[in-house]
Amino acid sequence: MSKSEQIMAQADEVLLRAYNRFPVVFSRGEGVTLYDEEGKSYLDFGSGIGVNALGYGHPAYTQALTQQVGKLMHVSNLYYTAPLEEAARALTEKSGLSRVFFTNSGAEAIEGAIKAAKKYASRRDGHSGHEIIAMEHSFHGRTVGAVSVTGTAHYREPFEPLMGGVRFARFNDLESVKAQVTEKTCAIILETVQGEGGIYPADPDFLAGVRALCDEKDILLILDEVQCGMGRTGSWYAWQTYGVKPDIMATAKALGCGVPVGAFVLGEKTAESSIEPGDHGSTYGGNPLAAAAVSAVFSIFEQEDILGHVKETAPYLEEKLDALCASSGGVLAGRRGMGFMQGLIVREDLPAGKIAAAALQAGLIVLTAGGNVLRLLPPLVVTRSDIDRMCEILGKVITSLQ
């Protein structure tokens, strides 16, 4: 039995089987490459589901975390720390929003956003009982509140009854959203680019129309940027590309580039009229280690012009993926996405998961998404040569499955 086989067998004895893990044990990473326990290398176009934007072993990131571990990791939110202020200031400056609450995950950020919206409406109206409009085929997380606004039935049904007062509309269909609005509606929540649902960017007219509807009705717009934010589309946050500003934003994943951290960020109006002391809390949220990670990520992004690199390199990725689709013999029906968040549509009779599994065997990590889509979320430091190599491996895999 190999070392990897031994680790997998022992892990299966003690871990709750909540995941369908691939049969590989990763031990280290360097740049955009992961290595398993036997030393085999894998080109990573999944980046830990969009987390590892800086790849692996980035020296400045590693140094910042090492220094913070040696000083202070946790004191609780009963006290101030310099890393907390620095991280919050960086996030507000880059988002253009006003107030930050740090969480440990994207799902927790969604939970906080929901609570803030409900509190805003209850303070405004003097009563509770408000509703939220969410989108079909959306994904917002696994906690009860987050899964309640997730627009895919199989994520919700085993855990019902969930949080009430949620209505679902069709993504990119403004009239569908308008039809769900009632006097109880306090918020509309959507992903600027749907991820798990199949890589669907919001239509500009749709997003602008939702913003105008919210302004007209004093409804809060919550944008989930957990996966599509932090430079993945070439802007700090995808909504900035559209010029449509949310009242509340949820962010996580690449916010900490590996350290578990998320946040919900509020505009001034919402911040001043929603969460008050005692309404919400988090023991670990924004602790010095997580905050140091956030500060380091923003600093490195600026110093290395990560956004500029994405804007410059993403068209090349799109060009190569379009060519791959054209040469796939009908296996790939097309491409959609923004920046370094791309989806390849696989023909219906060939499961995308089968391609992902074969790619892993060939030394390439790609993901899947709803609607039989191959999902590509490479580290934002990926190069043209990395893209060429990815297309070469994926092209051979597709040819072998035809």
Q: Which of 284, 303, 322 is the last residue of a domain?
A: 303
Smallest Cα–Cα separation from 68: which of 52, 82, 89? 82
Question: How many alpha carbons lie under 13 Å from residue 140 in its C-beta half-sphere?
Answer: 34
Of 303, 333, 350, at which residue does a domain stop? 303
Tens of pLDDT, residue by residue over 344-396, are: 999 999 999 999 999 999 999 999 999 899 999 999 999 999 999 999 999 99
> Residue 314 belongs to a domain with what CATH number?
3.90.1150.10
Q: Is 63 among the domain residues?
A: no
pLDDT at residue 101 in the model: 98
If one counts the domains in the chain, the total is 2
Give the per-residue pLDDT at 224.
Answer: 98
What residue ranges in 2-149 does DSSP mark as E strands? Answer: 26-30, 33-36, 41-44, 99-103, 131-135
Domain ranges, residue 367:
3-58+305-401
Which of residues 303, 337, 354 is at a domain's end? 303
Q: What is the pTM of this model?
A: 0.97
Distance CA 69, CA 385 (A): 35
Same domain for 339 and 212:
no
Is 290 in the same domain as 328? no
Q: Looking at the domain assignment, is residue 67 inside a domain?
A: no
- What is the domain-level CATH number for residue 79? 3.40.640.10
Q: Does one domain contain both 245 and 390?
A: no
- Average pLDDT value over all residues in the chain: 97
Q: What is the pLDDT of residues 22-61, one digit of tens each?
A: 999 999 999 999 999 999 999 999 999 999 999 999 999 9
In a 13 Å sphere around the CA of 329, the CA atoms on its Cβ side amount to 9
Written as six digits, the tokens of 387 are 């893209």
| Residue 173 and residue 270 in one domain | yes
Write out residues in the chain with pLDDT < 50, as ranges: none
